[in-house]
């Protein structure tokens, strides 16, 4: 089997507009939660979010393109620039051997809102020709491909909060199958918009802890009351191992396993038994040639919802059995907020940072124990520990379950 390694990473997210900034924030346990500033929330029951700050889309796109595109596209291209630059990969010299797999769970919610406002004022006349390509979720992938000239496989998962985990896993499969030698893989989302906040509040998923924005996202804590929506773009450069070695690339980690499953039961609620999400994890470990005994860190989906966090705890107990209390688990959404379609890629990058940095990212804001959530969640403070094998979980509305196995790169495995 062709081995797939990570040779570059990029991110724009609420706690860091670059990979080094993200690494520093994780070590410090820094929260991205704050009062929303991008629109008026004075009459909103939800006033908090995890917004990206200080990012200028014109730093990565020309002025016209930046004005004509949705924010999720800006974030995707911004992250891809850092990833490609850090990898040193000359994409245009590779012809059709480099592709892109960039996910978005929802797409251009900001431009959907503008289009609706235009319709209410003007009817169907004089719609901008840029609104449709700015709204559809696949255009994060499309713009990344156009920006860097990737001519290989071009894909875009839209599987809710599992989307960018699947984008990375699918990219691994393309490389393994010989369809590409390298892939730009990740996701982007802009959930902090009125329709995003309104929609998730409508299903009672959002935290309303408006007076405590920095501590509102509190996965696994007994007082958790819902997600804090965020926005981000994160991209990894994946390469076939021999291709990376031939160009003397710096190898950051290896993606060794990818597993999927479906709950097949409800539009939003997780499988209460944990059986189906657990199968995604065991499938990923089998794909990697690993067992549960090899896993040293779990980056949990951990959204800070009462139902979801308890359900994921049951999943991990089902997977790890008697060893469940020995495996460190953390939810970095406690810091970044819930990044929807960008969450899997951001958390995959976090796993790579943890492996290379020798630390466990914390679950911050965890102060009140919940009897239903009784694992080692690395509460509040990062912990030094060598990690060789990590897994990252991504669970999405509709029953989409995905898991990635990410490992320290070793010249020989087995």
Q: Judge whether 338 counts as a catalytic residue.
A: yes
Check residue 265 and give its pLDDT.
Answer: 87
Asked if the model's pLDDT at residue 194 lies above 70, the reply is yes
Q: What is the mean pLDDT of residues 199-227?
A: 97
- pLDDT digit string, tens, across residues 110-125: 998 888 888 899 998 8
Residue among 190, 338, 351, 403 flagged as catalytic: 338
| Parallel, antiparallel or unpaired: strands 297-299 and 329-330 | parallel
Closest CA to 382 of 344, 345, 349, 334: 334
Asked if the model's pLDDT at residue 69 lies above 80, the reply is yes
Check residue 269 and give its pLDDT.
Answer: 83
Pair 26, 335: CB distance under 8 Å: yes
**Percent of the chain whose predicted confidence (pLDDT) is above 90:** 89
Residue among 74, 81, 243, 301 flagged as catalytic: 301
Q: What is the mean pLDDT of residues 352-370?
A: 98
Strands of the sheet with 253-262, listed across from one edge: 154-155, 98-103, 182-190, 231-240, 4-12, 253-262, 400-407, 389-396, 297-299, 329-330
Q: What is the mean pLDDT of residues 153-158?
A: 97
**Could you tell me the two tokens for 83?**
């990833």
Pair 234, 187: CB distance under 8 Å: yes
Sign of the CA dihedral with 161 first, then 164, 165, and 167 last? positive
Asked if the model's pLDDT at residue 371 lies above 70, the reply is yes
Residue among 50, 161, 190, 206 flagged as catalytic: 161
Q: Judge whether 400 counts as a catalytic residue.
A: no
Asked if the model's pLDDT at residue 272 lies above 90, the reply is no
Confidence of residue 131 (pLDDT cuts 50, 70, 90): confident
Confidence of residue 412 (pLDDT cuts 50, 70, 90): low
Check residue 7 and give its pLDDT.
Answer: 98
pTM to 2 decimals?
Answer: 0.97
Check residue 227 and give its pLDDT.
Answer: 97
Secondary structure of 127-190 in HEC code, one letter for each residue: CCCCHHHHHCCCHHHHHHHHHHCCCCCEECCCCHHHHHHHHHHHHHHHHHCCCCCEEEEEEEEE
Pair 21, 79: CB distance under 8 Å: no
**Could you tell me the two tokens for 213?**
């924005």
Confidence of residue 237 (pLDDT cuts 50, 70, 90): very high
Check residue 413 and give its pLDDT.
Answer: 57
Q: What is the mean pLDDT of residues 327-342?
A: 98
Partners of 372 in beta bridges: none
**Which residues does 257 contact at the CB level (< 8 Å), separation at least 6?**
284, 285, 286, 287, 288, 289, 290, 391, 403, 404, 405
> What domains are there in the chain, each with its CATH number?
4-246 (3.40.47.10), 257-403 (3.40.47.10)
Q: How far apart are CA 37 and CA 84, in angstroms?
A: 31
Asked if the model's pLDDT at residue 268 lies above 90, the reply is no
Q: Judge whether 74 counts as a catalytic residue.
A: no
Check residue 361 and give its pLDDT.
Answer: 98
Check residue 59 and give its pLDDT.
Answer: 95
Neighbours of 368 (CB within 10 A): 11
């Amino acid at each position: 089997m062709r081995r797939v390694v990570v040779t570059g990473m990029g991110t724009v997210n609420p706690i860091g507009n670059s990979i080094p900034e993200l690494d520093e924030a994780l070590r410090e346990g820094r929260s991205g939660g704050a009062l929303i500033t991008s629109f008026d929330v004075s009459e909103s029951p939800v006033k908090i979010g995890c917004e990206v700050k200080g990012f200028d889309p014109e730093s990565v796109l020309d002025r016209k393109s930046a004005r004509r595109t949705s924010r999720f596209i800006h974030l995707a291209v911004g992250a891809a620039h850092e990833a490609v630059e850090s990898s040193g990969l000359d994409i245009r010299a590779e012809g059709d051997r480099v592709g892109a797999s960039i996910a978005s769970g929802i797409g251009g919610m900001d431009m959907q809102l503008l289009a609706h406002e235009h319709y209410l004022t003007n009817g169907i006349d004089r719609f901008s020709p840029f609104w449709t390509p700015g709204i559809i979720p696949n255009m994060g992938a499309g713009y990344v491909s156009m920006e860097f000239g990737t001519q290989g496989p071009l894909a875009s998962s839209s599987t809710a909060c599992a989307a960018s985990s699947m984008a990375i896993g699918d990219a691994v499969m393309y490389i393994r199958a010989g369809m590409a030698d390298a892939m730009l893989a990740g996701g982007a989302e802009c959930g902090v918009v009125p329709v995003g906040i309104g929609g998730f509040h409508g299903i009672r998923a959002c935290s309303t802890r408006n007076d405590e924005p920095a501590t509102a996202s509190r996965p696994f804590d007994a007082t958790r009351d819902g997600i804090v929506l965020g926005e981000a773009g994160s991209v990894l450069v994946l390469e076939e191992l021999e291709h990376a070695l031939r160009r003397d690339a710096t190898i950051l980690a290896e993606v060794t396993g990818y597993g999927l499953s479906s709950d097949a039961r409800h539009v939003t609620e997780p499988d209460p038994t944990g059986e189906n999400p657990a199968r995604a994890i065991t499938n990923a470990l089998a794909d990697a040639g690993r067992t549960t005994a090899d896993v040293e860190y779990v980056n949990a989906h951990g959204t800070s919802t009462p139902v979801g966090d308890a359900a994921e705890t049951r999943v991990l107990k089902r997977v790890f059995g008697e060893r469940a209390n020995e495996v460190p688990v953390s939810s970095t959404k406690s810091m970044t907020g819930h990044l929807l379609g960008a969450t899997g890629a951001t958390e995959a990058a976090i796993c790579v940072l943890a492996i290379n940095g020798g630390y466990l990212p914390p679950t911050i804001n965890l102060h009140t124990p919940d009897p239903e959530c009784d694992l080692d969640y690395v509460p509040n403070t990062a912990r030094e520990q060598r990690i060789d094998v990590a897994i990252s979980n991504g669970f999405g509305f509709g029953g989409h379950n995905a898991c990635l196995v990410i490992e320290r790169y070793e010249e020989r495995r087995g």
